[in-house]
């Protein structure tokens, strides 16, 4: 079976940013999880996103400042993985540390162009 690419969009899952120890522990969980994906050959790419940005809207291309939605619904980062099916991609996502902080992972197939 040919591997397909899937993107994980991470929403919510914010931790106590006043605690450097909590931040460090959380980052270590992410590094460990991504390392395990890499060793399995699933990891393709990914990065956290900054909380600021711009949005361009409509035919007039009106530019506005972000964030664009409630903090808990904004996309905080992404990872692209290889998997045989969306079900396998969902299963791989279950190890994500964002769930420890009640976050969400949206799993979407990447359309081949």
Q: What does residue 16 show for φ and ψ, rounded to 5 degrees? A: -70, 105
Mean pLDDT, rounded, for 76-87? 96
Give kind and range of the element (H or E) at residue 109.
strand 104-109
What CATH number should be reported for the domain holding residue 15? 3.30.70.1060
Candidate from 3-7, 52-56, 57-61, 106-110 with smallest mean pLDDT: 52-56
Q: Can you give the pLDDT at residue 104?
A: 94
Rounded-to-integer distance, Cα 73 and Cα 62, Å: 22
DSSP tag of 71: G
Place 108 in a pLDDT band, splitting at 50, 70 and 90: very high
Give the residue numbers spanning the domain of 73: 4-109
Q: pTM to 2 decimals?
A: 0.85
Per the omega criterion (within 30 degrees of 0), is the bond before 4 cis?
no
Domain count, the chain: 1
DSSP tag of 102: T
Q: Can you give the pLDDT at residue 72?
A: 63
């Amino acid at each position: 079976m040919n591997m397909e690419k899937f993107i994980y969009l991470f929403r919510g899952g914010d931790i106590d940013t006043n605690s450097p120890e909590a931040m460090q522990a959380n980052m270590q969980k992410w590094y460990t999880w991504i390392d395990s994906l890499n060793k399995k050959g699933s990891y393709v790419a990914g990065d956290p996103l900054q909380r600021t940005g711009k949005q361009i809207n409509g035919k007039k291309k009106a530019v506005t400042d972000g964030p664009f939605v409630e903090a808990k619904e904004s996309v905080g980062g992404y990872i692209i993985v290889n998997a045989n099916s969306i079900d396998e991609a969902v299963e791989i996502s279950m190890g994500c540390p964002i769930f420890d902080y009640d976050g969400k992972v949206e799993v979407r197939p990447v359309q081949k162009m």
